[in-house]
Structure 1
Amino acid sequence: MKRVLLPVILALAGLLGGLAGGYFLRPAEPLHPEAVSDAQAETTHEAVPQHPDDNHAIGPEYLKLSSQFIVPIVEDGRITSVVVLFLSLEITAGTQETVYAREPKLRDSFLQILFDHANSGGFRGTFTEGTTLAPLRRALLEAAQSILQGTVTDVLITDITRQDA
């Protein structure tokens, strides 16, 4: 009887502890519009200037592309290394949905540029030097701007790794 009772008591204690933790750590309730007084609403609107037509006043947004880019380095007909890159885009405010809608086309273009860069020897030696990465960044930015006119202002290489075989 004791062998069955102890696990049941521990399970109940764990369940109650989890419920209590969830209750006390839940997110705060959002304020309803009726709960905000007119005076608070006026000061809120005055403190933050609204520029609905001017996206540049808000500043750029940064959008991390959904997955990494894997580029094989081929020498003498065999893969000698693999380069893994994570890219983010600096975009104008409010254009995330447009970028996500065009991401497959963007990824295809980026992969072609990365493969060409790898085949021309761009990932050999000290490939992380600024002079080596500058043409790659420029090519990625040009491709992004041709696909997403007026949306992308920069392409950021947020992480790059080369794994030699």
Structure 2
Amino acid sequence: MRKLLPIIMLILGVGGGIGAGILLAPAPEAPMEHAAAEGEDPAASHAQEDAHAAPEAEEEHVTDEHAIPNEFIKINNQFIIPVMEREQLSSMVVVSLSLEMKPGMAAKVHSYEPKIRDVFLRILFDHANMGGFRGAFTRSEILDPLRTALREEGRRYLGKDLVDVLILEITRQDV
């Protein structure tokens, strides 16, 4: 019975989590059904929604069938950032980054990697010193300025070929 109890608890926990997820999931929107319920032509209402879309958004989403997708180049080692409070080490943060680059830029990234690592470490240290890794540090309003700073500094060395800097993993270990 001692060994069976954890398995039963695990099954109950997983079942409860799935049940809660199903129960609390938002209802899917059905614009076609909504328009039909109001007596409108569903195709006409869908066309009106498309007509109101911003022209800039259409330009951004235009895709060429023959366009080569961007490359994702993982920076080899993780970044380890100490978090200091009152001149004492309070925690360590480990971050894994990847670069979204235009096609064919892997060689350039690898040739600049030591410089890019140095610049990214400076940004991450500054972020830690400003308190960016305290509390709920994974909130988007906390991480967005960090992503922006990493992208802008990366573009100083890699140019416009750098599309974005992606945070793949981020972990904090309190000491």
| Bucket of the pairwise TM-score, normalised by the shorter protein | 0.5 to 0.7
1:112 aligned partner: 122
2:67 to 57, 73, 81: 57
Report what 1:159 is aligned to. 169
TM-score by length of 1: 0.66
The number of residue pairs the alignment matches comes to: 111
Q: TM-score, normalised by structure 2?
A: 0.62
SS at match of 2:76: coil
What's the CA shift for 1:94?
A: 0.5
2:111 to 93, 101, 105: 101
Q: Which amino acid aligns with 1:150?
A: K
What is residue 78 of structure 1 aligned with on the other side?
Answer: 88
Deviation at 1:59, TM superposition (A): 1.2
Deviation by residue 1:7-30 (Cα, 9 ceiling, x = unmatched): xxxxxxxxxxxxxxxxxxxxxxxx
What is the CA-CA distance between 1:76 and the residue it aligns to? 1.1
Equivalent-residue separation in structure 2 for 1:76 and 1:150 (angstroms): 40
Distance 2:159 2:74 in 1: 18
Distance 2:114 2:160 in 1: 18
- Cα offsets for 1:97-117 (capped at 9, x unmatched): 000000000000000000000
Q: Which residue of structure 2 aligns with residue 128 of structure 1?
A: 138
Residue identity in the other structure for 1:114: L
The offset of 1:119, in angstroms, is 0.1
Q: Deviations over 1:26-69 (max 9, x none)?
A: xxxxxxxxxxxxxxxxxxxxxxxxxxxx9x91010000001000
2:156 matched to which residue of 1? 146
The whole-number CA distance in structure 2 between the counterparts of 1:150 and 1:133 is 22
Whole-Å separation in 1 of the counterparts to 2:126 and 2:159: 23
Query: What are the ranges of 5 or more consecutive residues in structure 2 without an aligned counterpart?
Result: 1-63
- Provide the C-alpha distance between the structure 1 equivalents of 2:110 and 2:160, rounded to a whole number of angstroms: 15
Identical aligned residues as a percent: 52
Secondary structure in structure 1 of the residue aligned to 2:67? helix
- Cα deviation for residue 150 of structure 1 reads 2.2
Q: What amino acid is aligned across from residue 71 of structure 1 in structure 2?
A: I
